[in-house]
Structure 1
Amino acid sequence: MKSKIVKWLVGTLAVIGVLYIAARAFGPGILERQLNRIVDNRPFTISTEAEELHRSLRIMDWHADTLLWNRSLLERADRGHVDVPRLQDGNMALQMFTTVTKTPRNMNVHANEADSDNITLVSYLQGWPSATHSSLLARALYQAGKLDDFIQESEGSLMWVRSQAELKAFLAAHQSGASPKPIAALLGTEGAHPLEGDIANVDKMFEAGFRMVGLTHFFDNELGGSLHGVSKAGLTDFGKQVVRRLDELEIIIDLAHASEQSARDALAITSRGVVVSHTGFRGACDTERNFSDDLMKEIAAKGGLIAVGYWETAVCGTAPQDIAKAIAYGIDLVGADHVALGSDWDGAVTAMPSDHMPAITAALLDLGVSTDDIRQVMGESSINFLHAWLPE
């Protein structure tokens, strides 16, 4: 009897081991293919004028969650939206990579409680270090370390931009005639809950390379209310303290996902331009994901930048023409100097991938947007913003 129990236990453990190995080997790819679906708009109809214009642009995108996933940024992938080869194919110049550390179950744009978390399972499934299973700060720092590793391994195809000096060095390298052109990597976080309620952690994140911090994500946190949380409240005292420390360190504040009251509270405190890193305009796409047009005008009036996303609830569509219409609406509302690109690539959305960028340029031309305005929204407004607000 005892030997049968032992055999049963050994057999059970063997099955569990095989299932674990299979989950680790195939689970991340299966999960990402389900969540980061690709909209394939090929074949594109792109005029010679659009192609020539696109190749002359310096393009920046303000939001990609690629660091969350278990694949190399340096290798062309058959899943997701972003890797360096596809960024280069799309003539991208600068990419803000954002870290995701917590998302609620049954995530929606209406109201989410803060008492559940999907990323714990992701951390186990992808074999992250044990510290990341329970610490949101450890998750943010781990993803920051992944980006630094990719940059060091890239042999110059991926370059850090954390300061004015690094921005200047990147722009010189990008314009040097090298082929393929290098890509600038900036680092932000999707919500400030990795601070874990401790103001000293702002400095730790700065030291790890973070130069943009979102205040909230899909749930209310220690800083204040989320646009998709339960309270819709403004900033807490801790949130206001964080905003002041971000200003002191010259870290860009990202208002994407903040409640409208939290956004207005932040605008009242900060002396710097802010970013809405991935969004749409309520007047163009009336969903709960987007701020009101009046708030967008307040953000622009303080020198802010509004980055248009590529997915359904941001722009009411996923085609290049839908993205272009939202951009054109934003230009009319706040001016091209305050409009940019914020794809939300690899952020559990269905969207066009990074190598399809010429289709947006073509769609903007088809709408009659001027080449000067296209040049601004595709990248120059973002580069000017970085010149103004990155740390010296």
Structure 2
Amino acid sequence: MKLLIHTGTHKTASSSIQNFLNINKTILAENFAIGYLSELTSLVVDDDFFNLLQISINDNKDQKILIVSNERLCGHFVDGYSAPETHALKLARAINNLTFTIDVEILTVFREQVDFIRSCYCQLLKQDNKISFPEFYRNLPSNSLNWKNYYDSFNQIITPRKYHIIYYSINMDIKKLITDILSIPMDKLSSPKTQINPSFGKFSIIMNEENRTFSKHWKSDKLSKILQITGNHLNSPKVAYFSDSESSEIRQFYKETDPLTSNFNYSTNQNPNEYKNELEEFIRQYTRIYLIQTKNEQRENERISKLLNSLRIRTDRLQDSFSTLWKQKHTQNLTIQSLKSELNKQALNNREMKKQLTLLQSQVNEFINKS
């Protein structure tokens, strides 16, 4: 059995890879004996995760290949992947504790550091995080995004049979990437129709920062979804948090310390004027969707108001009916009490008459005896 472990990193099409594996999960299992352990994808990587990993591998021993994908295996970008060896050691321990031997392969996608930092910060904004970019960048540990150190940690601790290093690009062909690594034909597999979880572009960043007031009247997740769909980095310029000179300085730093950076294609900041038409189209789309959403909310509010009025009318009618019934019941109670009183009086009269009859009978008997 072969175990393919996809460790991320973040913002390198991990969601797209996982989505591709998920929509083809049945085909992979039935046609190629390849199992995708999707239940592990979104879990926090703790001791329970590694225990579940061992259980899942044991439960799927009939598969030729098992795939695990969880970008949390690499750590988190907020702390700059400061301790990749921690997860590598736990992963190696979980694999070594299996009762049978498996061949391990690792897949990691790396992204050029300047672009990676920008994309990670955009992800925080998309999650409605209020941290400023200078603060975010200042908190990253020095030399923390050295991909060679990251690679060495997993390669030396786990010693995989093969380590697949992929260099992220915006036009990555996920289907070809996965089928090449798995050595299977592409024709039976489906490709995702849309990109999953694209980053905010410059237009969305601006709108997100300038329109915070929408969140008071309009759920922020709706706003975030529209910003992501209409203003992602595919149809609007990427936001430039570093100047060209700052970008060059950062890239030079990693070039001197990280041999893997020589494989990246570098890009300069885009000229916003090149996207004038796209910006106008984005604003039109944004305005149209916002107006549609507003109208839908107005219609929903009107519908709820009508329902409340109808309920209020029905409540008033029920209250009137209840009052009428209560009055009738009260009247009946008074009538019953009056009848009871009359019956009691009649019973008293009957007892008095019985006493008088008894006395009269006694007098008659006495008279007869004397005679």
**TM-score (normalizing by structure 2):** 0.27
Q: Which has the higher contact order (CA 8 A, sep 6+)?
A: 1
